[in-house]
Amino acid sequence: MEVEAADAVGAVGAAVVSRVQRVGLGWRPELAAGIFANLDRIDVVEVLADDYFNAPRRERDALRALAEQVPVQLHGVGLGLASACAVDTARLDRMARLVEHVRPAGWSEHLAFVRAKGVEIGHLAMPPRTARTIEQTVRNVELARTITGTVPALENIATLFDPPMSTHTEADWSRQILVASGAPLLLDLHNLYANAVNARRDPLADLAAFPLERVSGVHLSGGMWISHDGGERRLLDDHLHSPPDAVFELLRSLQMQTKASFDVVLERDGRYPKFEVLIGELDRARAALSPLVAQPLRRYA
């Protein structure tokens, strides 16, 4: 069920370059039965690595068995690679052991820090985007490559708070890290969309500013609008809602702007709809990747 797509630019010209793109789902225990029942419609599964670091052997063996049936991507959330501080090698060792055991198609982490001076933030946070964080993040990624044997794909995060003390735009900061470290980009389109609309920027312009030639993976998810004291609203990326139309538009735009092959993974962390709804969203992603869909891009900013 993989999409073999003609490059959109090539499709209108003489040369057509084919590429294979896989569309799949984030693994959650609540979705396991649906995933196994629909493996003919799911090309790739992404698994949260941190859930398995301390898991019993039988669970890690089950994960390896899953990886023998369908391509598995391991996805980390706790390393804090994007930081002015050195990454904890004990955490990298745990990732390396899991990679060695599962032998996934690849692994990824976020362009985020998650702790500082002993304070655990509890989730992904964007550090000040400076030359110093670029420099140390590149060192952290190089260490991750040395210890695990593979360079991780790096994912852009959603942030409700754009850190002061930043000297670079998110796209430029990300580009410099990716180019210097040789890491591929795991582009989360809802994160990009949320950051853009929260800052009143055009999401399509933000998309074009990222190094799209480095995209190896895409995340699709949804969110909800929240406000502080009933005042100004912000879009929260919560993985509890379906991706909005704008995210599929961004996927279509991405497909038209890069020749890269990439996996597309739908993320859903709760308030699970019927599995058919998720399958329908995967079909929608496949349609967005299809060169047959040749409508003008709509702007949602």
Cα–Cα dist 21/169, whole Å = 29
Q: Which of residues 55-84 bind another protein (CB under 8 A)?
A: 83-84
Site map (CB under 8 A) of another protein, residues 192-221, x = contact: ------x-----------------------
Burial of 18 (0-12, 13-18, 19+ CB in 10 A): exposed
Q: For residue 164, what are the CA distances in angstroms to 130, 168, 229, 237?
A: 10, 11, 22, 21
List 15, 40, 57, 161, residue binding another protein (CB under 8 A): 161
Helices (H), 154-210: 170-181, 189-198, 203-209
73 phi and psi angles, rounded to 5 deg: -105, 130
List 11, 48, 116, 287, residue binding another protein (CB under 8 A): 116
Least distance between another protein and beta carbon 102 (Å): 22
Give one word for 6, left, alpha or beta, with left for phi > 0 and alpha for psi -120 to 50.
beta
Cα–Cα dist 277/271, whole Å = 12
Q: Please identify, among the stretches 62-70, 223-231, 278-286, 287-295, the one whose residues bind another protein according to the rule CB under 8 A.
A: 223-231
Least distance between another protein and beta carbon 122 (Å): 4
Least distance between another protein and beta carbon 243 (Å): 19
123 phi and psi angles, rounded to 5 deg: -165, -175
Q: Is 290 in the site for another protein (CB under 8 A)?
A: no
List 37, 65, 226, 293, residue binding another protein (CB under 8 A): 226
For residue 26, list its beta bridge partners. 46
Q: Which is nearer to another protein, 136 or 156 (CB)?
A: 136
Q: Using CB under 8 A, list all residues that contact another protein.
A: 83-85, 113, 115-117, 119-123, 125, 127-128, 130, 132-133, 136, 159-167, 198, 226-228, 231-232, 234, 236
